[in-house]
Homo-oligomer: A and B are copies of this chain.
Amino acid sequence: MEIIKGGVTAAKGFEAAGVEAQIKYTDRVDMALVYSTAPCKVAGTFTTNVVKAGPVIWDRDIVQKSPYAQAVVVNTGIANACTGQQGLDYCRQEAQTAAALLNIPENAVLVGSTGVIGKQLPIDRIKTGIEKLVKAKSDTTEAGSMAAKGIMTTDTVSKEIAVSFEINGKKVTLGGMSKGSGMIHPNMCTMLAYITTDAAISKELLQEALSASVTDTYNMISVDGDTSTNDTCLILANALAGNDEITQKGEAYDKFCEALNYVNTFLAKKMAGDGEGATALFATKVYNAPTKQDAKTLAKSVIGSNLTKAAIYGHDANWGRILCALGYSGVQFAPEKVDVFVESKAGKIQLCQNGLEADYSEEQATKILSEPEVTVLVDMKNGTSEATAWGCDLTYDYVKINADYRS
């Protein structure tokens, strides 16, 4: 597997665009299009929130019922959530507009929205935006990057990646983009992530690969514990790589899954590290746990702890908060067995041994914790399972951003 330049336009036959449509912001790219010249198999995972945004309902229908998909239209600024029948009608109008311009069926168009909840889309500006997107679309790397910009909200950097690998002598490419900065605590999926591939793969295996990968990647990140109404992860596969269609598990499927996992892990970590107001990516790896699920639950509890997140911001080796967060996770364990370490580019140090304070230098710990990527390592000494979760620190700026997000 090779990491290559680009994002959603890296795979054969995919085009993209990002344009300014003045949905909520002025002077910034706020709409994106992903288009495939050939029909795509599509798989998706969506928010488990009872309150589901219009685009989630629309896309779930397409994934379940449409024979294929060929385009995704996304806007930022307004989430089209808590907007009722009107909001759902607007999804249809978006799809109709794009379908007419792209000469594809209405039910081949997926839609996505992110931003403020409870406001209706300015549907005229959306339609004008779609016209601009269709005119601007291209298969260049730059077009993919513009699309990645067009889905950002409070993100400070756009997030995209692409990889290529071989299946039976055919080069297959997989690329993706995502956004996510606040209201990030995915359950089933993350805010918005769009993956494109030219692999030929059956719809069933595409969905299975995506669902499995999401569990270990997007579902293992948290910025603020708030599971969004709009969480959507879609993958479009147009089969243009020319490989024999993957219709059963085996070497080819494994290669595909490995690449998909790499892309999703990259995007998930990018989202966590770019959490609203964050100054650091804060990972927690729990190992030697009795079960994979235990390890996951424990790791997520640590990266979700506000007190631990604030301590990371303060570069404070407050390992007691880590043990406390493990303790209220719901997993039963023996505290007197647990070892805790922190690690970053600046080194690695043990803070806690067998549940008690280890003999360590606060100065060295602070140095390690002052890096932009910090990992807490937790050895449960009670099994062989492991899991990693990713979050970020809790800062003044998180509060600032969210105290008056709507204005």
Q: Which residues of A contact B (CB under 8 A)?
A: 48-52, 79, 81-84, 116-119, 182-183, 185, 187, 224-229, 304-307, 310-311, 313-314, 316, 318-321, 323-329, 331-333, 335-336, 352, 354-357, 394-396, 398-407
Question: Are A316 and B118 in contact, CB atoms less than 8 angstroms apart?
Answer: no
User: What is the count of identical protomers in the complex?
Assistant: 2
- The residues of B that contact A307 with a CB separation of less than 8 Å are 182-183, 224, 226, 402
A contact patch SS? loop
- Chain B residues with CB under 8 Å of A306's CB are 224-226, 306, 398, 402
Given A82-B352, A225-B225, A229-B324; A118-B357 close (CB under 8 Å): yes
Residues of chain B within 8 A (CB-CB) of A319 are: 117-118
Contact of A82 among B118, B311, B323, B402 (CB under 8 A): B323
Contact B328 A50 (CB under 8 A): yes
Q: Do residues A320 and B81 form an inter-chain contact, with CB atoms below 8 A?
A: yes
Knowing A311-B405, A318-B406, say if A225 contacts B395 (CB, 8 Å). no
How far in angstroms is the closest Cβ of chain B from A339? Answer: 12
Minimum CB distance partner of A182 in chain B? B307
Closest Cβ of chain B: how far from A277's Cβ, in Å? 9
Contact in complex: A394, B405 (CB < 8 Å): no
Task: Say whether A311 contacts B403, CB under 8 Å.
Answer: yes
Q: Contact between A396 and B405 (Cβ–Cβ < 8 Å)?
A: no
Q: Within the complex, what minimum Cβ distance (angstroms) separates A349 from chain B? A: 15
